[in-house]
Amino acid sequence: MGKPTMINYDGSVCHSGIRRKQKKPKFLEKPMSLNHSPLTNGEVMTIRVALNHFVTDLEENGLGEDEVGKEITKGYLNNAYKLIRLLSKN
């Protein structure tokens, strides 16, 4: 049986089962909260990366070639671009 896997407070994975002193991240995301709960740097980074992946997929594949799919794609992309700009502001 392998060593236990633990999730550190910053969202990183610790495979040894021993929590190590948390290092300050090299790249800090803009502070953010959801429902008045502050998110960790790792959580904000996950949202940013997922949003960028979603945009890339929509730009490449869209949601269909019919008018409804095109309109929904356009709406999602507009909102996603706004969110990315908000996440990028310092």
The verdict on residue 44 lying in a domain is yes
pLDDT score at 28: 75
Residue 45 has pLDDT above 70, yes or no: yes
Q: How far apart are CA 83 and CA 49, in angstroms?
A: 12
The verdict on residue 59 lying in a domain is yes
Range of weakest confidence among 11-20, 34-43, 65-74: 11-20
pLDDT score at 55: 94
- Structural domains in the chain (count): 1
Per-residue pLDDT band for 86 (boundaries 50, 70, 90) equals confident
Tens-place pLDDT, residues 11-27: 565 555 555 566 665 66
**Is the pLDDT higher at 18 or at 64?**
64
The verdict on residue 80 lying in a domain is yes
The verdict on residue 7 lying in a domain is no
> Phi and psi of 5, rounded to 5°?
-100, 130
12 and 42 Cβ atoms separated by less than 8 Å:
yes
CB-CB neighbours of 44 under 10 Å: 20
The verdict on residue 49 lying in a domain is yes
Per-residue pLDDT band for 37 (boundaries 50, 70, 90) equals very high
The verdict on residue 19 lying in a domain is no
The verdict on residue 62 lying in a domain is yes
The verdict on residue 61 lying in a domain is yes
**Domain interval for residue 63:** 27-88
DSSP 68: H
